Amino acid sequence: MAALYVLMGGVTFLVYGSDKRRARLGRRRVPERTLHLLELCFGWFGAFVAQRVVRHKTQKMPFQMVFWGIGLLHVLLVGLLAWGMQVS
């Protein structure tokens, strides 16, 4: 599971960086839905790091609300998995 978080975090980080570059150049952007899907598919931490490093998608409040909701889902998932491992 940790390898999946690392892999997808890296992919998500790169997609965020690409979208930021596209925004600066006035090119076609990565849809927000795609960014959120990557976050949901184990890429949330990579998105979190990308937002801080490349300063992308940090001011748009509707986007941030979905972003933090997905982050909460990941915290709950990891917590449930950790709790399940202790119970077994």
The string of pLDDT tens digits covering residues 20-68 is: 999 999 999 999 999 999 999 999 999 999 999 999 999 999 999 999 9
Going by pLDDT thresholds of 50, 70 and 90, the confidence category of residue 88 is low
DSSP secondary structure of 4-55:
HHHHHHHHHHHHHHHHHHHHHHT-PPPPHHHHHHHIIIIIHHHHHHHHHHS-
**Domain span including residue 54:** 2-87
Residue 86 confidence (pLDDT): 82
The total of structural domains in the chain comes to: 1
Question: Mapping DSSP to helix (H, G, I), strand (E, B) and coil, where does residue 60 land?
Answer: coil
32 Cβ contact list (under 8 Å, min separation 6): 57, 63
Does the structure show a pLDDT above 80 at 87? no
Contact 5, 45 (CB under 8 A): yes
Residue 85 confidence (pLDDT): 80
d(CA 37, CA 24): 23
